[in-house]
Amino acid sequence: MKRFFMKRKNLIVSTVLILCLILSTFALAQQESEENPHKVKNVILMIPDGMTIAHTSLARWYQDGESLAMDEIACGLIRTHSANNPITDSAPAATAYATGFKTQNRYLSIYPEMVSMPGVGQVDEKDFYKPIVTILEAAKKAGKSTGLVFTCQFPHATPAAFASHSDNRNDYENIAEQMVYNQVDVVFGGGYKYIDKNQRKDKEDLARYLKENGFFVTPSWYEAKNFYGQKIWGLFAQDAMHYDFDRNGSGEPSLAEMTQKAIQLLSKNKNGFFLMVEGSEIDWASHANDPVGVISDVLAFDRAVKVALEFAKSRNDTAVIIASDHSNGGMSIGNYSTKYDTAMLNDFLKYIKKAKRTGAGIEELLGNNRTDENIKKIVSEYYGVDNLTQDEINAIKNAKTGELNYVLGPIISKRSNLGWTTNGHTGEDVVLYAYHPNNYIPRGLIDNTEVCDYMAEILGIDLGSFNENAYISNIDLEEKGYNVSIDTSNPSNVQLVISKENKTYIIPQNKNVVLAGSTQYRLKYVSVYIPTAKRFFVSSEVENLIK
């Protein structure tokens, strides 16, 4: 009998404790909700690189005036300038979205040393080139899953800005290594050669590193779409992927398919996720003034938007933000020769609607067979153009490898009454689109840095606290009395060497490790070497290791 009462007493105590725990958890959640009633678990940021209002207008007409999925959530405009130029390139533009700070052209998620635009705060000299913690890195530290989806090669400017730090956006090998060591949970896109030891100049086996750290690594979409774990790098092309119109037969997935799979995998984390999706090649088509490429990848991007919005609307914990990083090409519906009071819709769409491939796709079809007859045959079959001039045929014949779209794009644009002002970026505002389950969205004209501020707010992430003491430089360490040197004897593997008493600590660039003899320590952040400034930045907790 006594044992029975003891068991009953223990059961009552246990039940009370469980109830107290449930009530305290509920109270904590309620308090958190009251402090940040707009907080969400998941944020999907979607970047249609280089997309303008002219692009979306033409895309709607291409599908007979039918609205785009993104149209219903248009809510404002974004200023896009960098720290030092009215016209930004993709690196500082993506940096603004990733970090909430402006930097200068070519830089990826590091502070600028050059600030010349009105309203942009000057940076203290000691912080020049210092890495800025990104919202993706902070989300991962906060226990969320992270993902990057794109159609370019993964070390390209936009995805790179979220998971690497550099003063040279074209330094793909070093950027790729940082992104791998940052261990983004889900990466879908192109660029397999940048993790393949046989194709890297430094022979680093980054694919093996990922596998050893629990990632499934594959170049096969079939394998990726049948994967149901949580950590995967699916790189479906050696370099960049095809334009959407040119994918047929390539085995590559669409942007929508990759987005859907990424969401499926990332949403397994009860703490939520941060996902960036880029329509990478809208920008490239714009550089080439290729309207067929623009239509191809604006519509492919919009199908990915539909996937993201359907997921967000099916629950109450997900926000979707769509923001182009800059305008490109100066595209207009109508050019100098257009008589707009008599021009009919078919005058703009006749050839574009007949197009089955982009300019890049036509180049693949032509191969080395650029005879007059084959050029006329292919262009007639895939573009419906039967009246090429001899000058146009010669231009196609003599186009450099990889640049035929720069010839075919203007040929189609001229016949379609479309104007272009440049093969480069332009500096006007871009459209902001946003969805939030409680309709808490930014409106009006905002700065591109405010997109990051908004995402951090609704995720409940204090980016400032992450950045406050994240990195320390070789100069800082020297000032603190440490014996520090930068070993550049192997340019492919620059190292920071810290000596103290009888111990030597070696910190390789791009990795998040410290080597002390046979012992290896892991750091919070990847190490970054800026060769032009001879500055080496390391995760600040290294000081505790070497004390």
271 vs 2 pLDDT, higher one: 271
Give pLDDT, residue 28.
44
Q: List, as residue ranges, the binding site for Zn(2+).
A: 49, 283, 287, 325-326, 425
CATH no. for residue 61? Answer: 3.40.720.10
Contact 96/451 with Cβ under 8 angstroms? yes
Q: Are residues 163 and 260 in the same domain?
A: yes
Give pLDDT, residue 500.
81
Q: Which domain holds residue 517?
A: 471-546
Give pLDDT, residue 125.
92
Q: Are residues 401 and 496 in the same domain?
A: no
Give pLDDT, residue 547.
75
Query: Is residue 327 annotated as part of the catalytic site, yes or no?
Result: no
Model pLDDT for residues 450-472, shown as the tens digit of each residue: 999 999 999 999 999 999 989 99
Residue 5 neighbours by CB distance under 10 Å = 9
Average pLDDT, the chain: 93
With a pLDDT cut of 90, the percent of the chain lying above it is 90
Using 50, 70 and 90 to split pLDDT, how confident is the model at 82? Answer: very high
pLDDT at 79 exceeding the cut of 80: yes
Give pLDDT, residue 18.
47
Give pLDDT, residue 493.
93
Q: Note whether residue 23 is domain-resident.
A: no
Using 50, 70 and 90 to split pLDDT, how confident is the model at 518? Answer: confident
Where is average pLDDT lowest: 7-11, 103-107, 209-213, 382-386? Answer: 7-11
For the chain, helix, strand, coil in percent to 5 are 40, 20, 40
pLDDT at 32 exceeding the cut of 80: no
Element (H or E) spanning 537, and its range?
Answer: strand 535-539
| Boundary-marking domain end, from 406, 433, 468 | 468
Q: Note whether residue 29 is domain-resident.
A: no
pLDDT at 21 exceeding the cut of 60: no
> Which residue in 57, 82, 90, 489 is the catalytic one?
90
Enter the pTM of the model.
0.93
Q: Are residues 377 and 283 in the same domain?
A: no
CATH no. for residue 408? Answer: 1.10.60.40
pLDDT at 12 exceeding the cut of 50: no
Q: Are residues 310 and 391 in the same domain?
A: no
Q: Are residues 430 and 475 in the same domain?
A: no
Q: How many domains does the chain have?
A: 3
Which one-letter amino acid corresponds to residue 334? Answer: G
Q: Note whether residue 338 is domain-resident.
A: yes
Q: Note whether residue 488 is domain-resident.
A: yes
Give pLDDT, residue 34.
58
Q: List, as residue ranges, the binding site for Mg(2+).
A: 49, 156, 158, 278
Give pLDDT, residue 36.
82
Q: Are residues 321 and 448 in the same domain?
A: yes
Element (H or E) spanning 353, and its range?
Answer: helix 345-354
Give pLDDT, residue 10.
47
Rounded Cα distance between 467 and 398, Å, is: 51
